[in-house]
Chain A
């Protein structure tokens, strides 16, 4: 598996502000992703964090709202910009690793509440 940590684990923010979430992996990985999990819901992919290039966003997510950095193969950040209460969610990073090359492991998540 993989050891993945996220900071912060939770935060309460005011609307209109921005929060940057960090994801750290215990070893180099090629594929890193960011997901959102709204309260009581399933996970939705926000974007693929590409090392050395711009992230690839899924439909409904844009770079201006969710800028992502991937400076190296063990670290990524997701910023939630100009927050509104609708952004209250759990944000999770994941990495691909495993014998078969497809196994995807998740971090513990960052629980964000926007007031």
Chain B
């Protein structure tokens, strides 16, 4: 599939601040997106997903925004905590739900300073 990339490879924030992690995708056919959190030594953990018929979806302390016009995806984390420190990946599915294959972005390392 086409590439999925991130604007910022690293992000450092203070505890309590809000974090925004960005992702650009190039395949306009992608209709499903997922954000994953990967802590050191662990597999990716599902955070939140969004379909292309939505532009915003909220979870617990997290919000995903989708801008299909500019092919941009972002993950907002409210009141960032030290436990949020990890690498965050966006992933896209351009199969239309037929084969569930995901293309992953490069990842952003989020560091939360106490």
Residues of A within 8 A of B (CB): 1, 4, 31, 33, 41-45, 48, 58, 92, 96, 100-109, 111
Contact = CB atoms under 8 A, between A and B. Distances in A.
A102 B43 contact: no
Contacts of B46: 1, 103-106
B97 A92 contact: no
Interface in B71-107: 89, 91, 93, 97, 99-107
Contacts of B51: 100
Nearest to A30: B100
Interface of B: 32, 34, 36, 41-46, 49, 51, 89, 91, 93, 97, 99-107
Contact of B43 (A100, A103, A107): A107
Given A42-B107, A43-B89, A104 B102 contact: yes
Contact of B34 (A48, A101, A104): A104
B42 A104 contact: no
A41 B44 CA distance: 13
Given A1-B46, A108-B42, A101 B104 contact: no
A100 B49 contact: yes
14 contacts: A33-B100, A41-B106, A42-B89, A42-B104, A43-B44, A96-B100, A100-B51, A102-B93, A103-B34, A103-B49, A104-B46, A104-B102, A106-B43, A106-B44
Contacts of B42: 108-109
7 closest A-B pairs by beta carbon, nearest first, are A106-B43, A42-B104, A43-B104, A106-B44, A108-B43, A109-B43, A96-B100
Contacts of A42: 89, 104-107
A44 B46 CA distance: 17
B6 to A, nearest CB: 9
Nearest to A40: B107
B105 A101 contact: no
Given A42-B89, A42-B107, A103-B49, A48 B44 contact: no
A92 B41 CA distance: 12
